[in-house]
């Protein structure tokens, strides 16, 4: 599985695996009770990864931080989907999904990836926030944190990547976004060293975008009503990930480890037929946040 040569691909893999260790340590301390189980796996056809999952903690009902580096050739079915004639690919990435137990603490997601197809090389990634009960202070903090990261590298990045996030994490059959957005970028080509520096900055900055929100919200009281609404909103998360998420599609199509690919799903979710929140309730107010807005 290891590709430790002093190439960009090797350095990217080393960074992702080092970041995984750091994030697991910091998230376990944030949780205060749980610990991460680490599973190393190998992929038939080339490569593998390391999955780290914390379950039933004091803060996180489920938290996962996965890395993988895989290579091989697209089969006929996937080649038909992506087009072109080049079958050979490599993909290296890190993905984290945090599902807190409290409905007052938002779910958070981040992903960074490096891909090649033949001679074509590019980076992608981003981070988004998915609260059950959105809060304007939290949402503005999250977006301003990511704007600061983007502005350190290119003044145009935040507006571009915020718009891409709004468009990507949209659920067409529901007419709403999965959450309150963040940044999303794909197909970043060109000066790969500069792009890699931006990607590292994104990875290193994730916790500063999220930890202050956790600190503000983890002590807020909640009851059965809030818990039920959280599970309802998690249903939207599941719908997006199984129907539209590119990483899920790519991982399954290239025969990755299903347990690791589906790590992003929450441990519990619910669907209620024709759910309508009570007018004037916090649940009704939440719906106003799940459309694109200027948060900065």
Q: Checking DSSP bridges between strand 60-73 and strand 88-100, what pairing results, if any?
A: antiparallel
Q: Are 127 and 202 in contact (CB under 8 A)?
A: yes
Give the HSE-up count for residue 228: Cα atoms under 13 Å, Cβ half-sphere: 7
- What is the b/e burial string over 165-181, where b = at least 16 CB atoms within 10 angstroms of the residue's CB? bbebbbbeeeeebbbbb
Q: Checking DSSP bridges between strand 88-100 and strand 37-42, what pairing results, if any?
A: unpaired
Cα–Cα dist 159/148, whole Å: 12
**Sequence-separated (6 or more) residues with CB below 8 Å from residue 100:** 59, 60, 61, 106, 107, 214, 218
Closest alpha carbon to 93 in 65, 117, 121:
65
Place of tokens 């060293």: 193
Q: Collapsing DSSP states into helix, strand and coil, what is residue 166? A: helix
Supply the residues annotated as catalytic: 109
Largest Cα–Cα separation, the chain = 60
Q: Are 139 and 158 in contact (CB under 8 A)?
A: no
**Sequence-separated (6 or more) residues with CB below 8 Å from residue 268:** 61, 231, 234
Cα–Cα dist 34/27, whole Å: 9
């Amino acid at each position: 599985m290891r590709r430790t040569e002093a190439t960009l691909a090797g350095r990217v893999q080393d960074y992702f695996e080092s970041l995984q260790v750091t994030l697991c340590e910091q998230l376990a301390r944030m949780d205060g009770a749980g610990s991460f189980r680490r599973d190393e796996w190998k992929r038939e056809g080339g490569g593998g990864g390391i999955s780290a999952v914390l379950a039933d903690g004091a803060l996180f009902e489920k938290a996962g931080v996965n890395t993988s580096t895989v290579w091989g050739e697209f089969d006929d079915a996937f080649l038909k989907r992506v087009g072109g004639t080049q079958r050979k690919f490599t993909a290296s990435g890190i993905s984290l999904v945090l599902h807190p137990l409290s409905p007052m603490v938002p779910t958070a997601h981040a992903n960074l990836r490096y891909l090649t197809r033949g001679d074509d090389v590019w980076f992608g990634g981003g981070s988004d926030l998915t609260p059950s009960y959105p809060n304007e202070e939290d949402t503005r903090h999250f977006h301003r944190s990511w704007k600061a990261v983007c502005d350190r590298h290119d003044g145009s990045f935040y507006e571009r990547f915020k718009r891409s996030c709004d468009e990507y994490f949209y659920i067409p059959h529901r007419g709403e976004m999965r959450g309150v957005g963040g940044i999303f970028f794909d197909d970043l080509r060109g000066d790969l060293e500069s792009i890699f520096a931006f990607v590292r900055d994104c990875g290193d900055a994730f916790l500063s975008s999220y930890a202050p929100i956790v600190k503000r919200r983890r002590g807020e009281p909640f009851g059965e009503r809030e818990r039920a609404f959280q599970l309802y909103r998690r249903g939207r998360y599941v719908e997006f990930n199984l129907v539209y998420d590119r990483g899920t599609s790519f991982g399954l199509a290239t025969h990755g480890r299903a347990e690791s690919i589906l790590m992003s799903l929450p441990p519990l979710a619910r669907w209620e037929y024709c759910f309508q929140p009570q007018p004037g309730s916090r649940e009704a107010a939440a719906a106003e946040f799940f459309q694109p807005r200027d948060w900065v």
